[in-house]
């Protein structure tokens, strides 16, 4: 028996009791927290079950990938989400490139909820297909009502006929831009101007149904989203005026160039041979305008000197 400071006898060591009491409180709190965590996890799992049933599309951030190419993300309530390899692109990709699938956002739907492990399986590919159908129907409805539809698209590639193939809205909805709808005026090097991966603003012009094995497509315009640099060009750059022109693309006996304040590719003729002026890409030259037309989208200059 010990005696406390008041002289009253006790049957235990108060300091030891306090330590045990604290440990018990900690254990009690830990058990409560674990129970709360499990309850919260159950609530969140029910939320993802609801997402699955309603095919709700939501965004996740994938922070890691395993050796077979599956990517993982943290969901609400300390729940782990997994996007299997095949559910990223709709087919199995080479897991050697899995680093490119990490540290990026994905719009997904829930395909499975494992309540025992707390693992939620997701699909980016299926979410894209759902979003693609929704967007397609909205665009067709707007075109039917003659409404102007403007949105963003990603350039996929430029085909052999200089058609710019695009992914509309980033959901895999196919469309293309004819080269004459790329910009106001002539485009001398579309493959240089329209780089794969570029995000551009477009206007939907019309819908083309699939025929003879060719897939459906929305025909679009980038030109309609740009200001027209040809407006008032005859007053801004009158015939016989002199311009400082930077060579941007060298061709045989001619080149294309840019002049400050004029967002137009200027067609430039080489100087007379006796002038002995060497034309090189990136250098600046003096030229006089010998042809200009707003209606014909035409601006031509003849080089007579080099800017030193």
- Quick one: pLDDT at residue 48? 93
- Quick one: pLDDT at residue 197? 93
CB 265 within 8 A of CB 206: no
The Cα-based distances of 146 to 132, 143, 176, 205, 224 in angstroms read 21, 5, 19, 10, 16
The overall average pLDDT reported for the chain is: 86
For residue 24, pLDDT beyond 60: no
- Quick one: pLDDT at residue 68? 96
Q: Tell me: the pLDDT tens digits for 178-189?
A: 999 999 988 888
- Quick one: pLDDT at residue 21? 45
Q: Is the dihedral of CA 75, 81, 86, 90 positive or negative?
A: negative
Residue/partner pairs of 50-55 with CB below 8 Å, 24 or more apart: 51/109, 51/110, 52/109, 52/110, 52/111, 52/112, 52/113, 55/109, 55/130
- Quick one: pLDDT at residue 14? 42
For residue 15, pLDDT beyond 90: no
pTM: 0.72
For residue 30, pLDDT beyond 60: no
- Quick one: pLDDT at residue 1? 44
What's the pLDDT band for 274 if we cut at 50, 70, 90? confident
For residue 23, pLDDT beyond 70: no
Find where tokens 């996929």 sit.
156
Please tell me what DSSP assigns to residue 279: P
Q: Measuring CA to CA, which residue among 39, 88, 40 is closest to residue 62?
A: 88
> What whole-number percentage of the chain has pLDDT above 90?
69
What's the pLDDT band for 3 if we cut at 50, 70, 90? very low
Cross-strand partners of 158: 164
For residue 20, pLDDT beyond 90: no
- Quick one: pLDDT at residue 192? 86
For residue 287, pLDDT beyond 90: yes
- Quick one: pLDDT at residue 219? 96
- Quick one: pLDDT at residue 243? 95
CB 44 within 8 A of CB 36: no
Q: Tell me: the pLDDT tens digits for 173-231?
A: 999 999 999 999 888 889 889 999 999 999 999 999 988 878 899 999 999 999 999 99
Q: Measuring CA to CA, which residue among 167, 57, 46, 43 is closest to residue 105?
A: 57
Domains and CATH numbers, the chain: 1-123 (2.40.50.140), 148-225 (2.40.50.140), 233-306 (2.40.50.140)
What's the pLDDT band for 239 if we cut at 50, 70, 90? very high
Q: Tell me: the pLDDT tens digits for 102-156?
A: 999 999 999 999 988 889 999 999 999 999 999 999 999 999 999 999 999 999 9
- Quick one: pLDDT at residue 123? 96
What's the pLDDT band for 35 if we cut at 50, 70, 90? low
Cα gap 141→282, rounded to integer Å: 48
């Amino acid at each position: 028996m010990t005696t406390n400071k008041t002289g009253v006898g006790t049957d235990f060591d108060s300091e030891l009791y306090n330590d045990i009491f604290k440990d018990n409180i900690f254990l009690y709190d830990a058990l409560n927290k674990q129970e709360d965590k499990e309850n919260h996890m159950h609530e969140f799992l029910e939320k993802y079950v609801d997402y699955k049933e309603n095919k709700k599309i939501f965004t996740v951030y994938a922070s890691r990938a395993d050796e077979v190419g599956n990517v993982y993300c943290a969901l609400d309530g300390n729940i782990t989400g997994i996007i299997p390899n095949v559910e990223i692109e709709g087919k199995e990709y080479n897991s050697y490139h899995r680093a490119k699938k990490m540290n990026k956002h994905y719009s997904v739907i829930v395909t499975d909820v494992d309540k025992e492990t707390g693992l939620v399986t997701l699909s980016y590919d299926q979410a894209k297909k759902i979003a693609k159908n929704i967007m397609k129907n909205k665009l067709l409805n707007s075109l039917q009502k003659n409404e102007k539809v403007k949105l963003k698209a990603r350039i996929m590639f430029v085909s052999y006929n200089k058609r710019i193939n695009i992914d509309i809205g980033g959901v895999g909805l196919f469309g293309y831009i004819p080269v004459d709808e790329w910009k106001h005026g002539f485009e001398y090097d579309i493959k240089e101007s329209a780089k794969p991966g570029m995000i551009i603003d477009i206007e939907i012009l019309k819908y083309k149904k699939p025929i003879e094995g060719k897939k459906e497509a929305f025909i679009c315009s980038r030109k309609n989203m740009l200001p027209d640099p040809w407006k008032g060009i005859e007053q801004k750059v009158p015939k016989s005026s002199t311009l400082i022109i930077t060579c941007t693309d060298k061709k045989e006996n001619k080149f294309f160039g840019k002049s400050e304040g004029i967002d137009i590719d200027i067609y430039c003729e080489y100087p007379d041979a006796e002038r002995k002026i060497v034309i090189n890409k990136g250098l600046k030259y003096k030229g006089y305008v010998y042809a200009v037309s707003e209606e014909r989208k035409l601006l031509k200059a003849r080089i007579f000197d080099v800017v030193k």
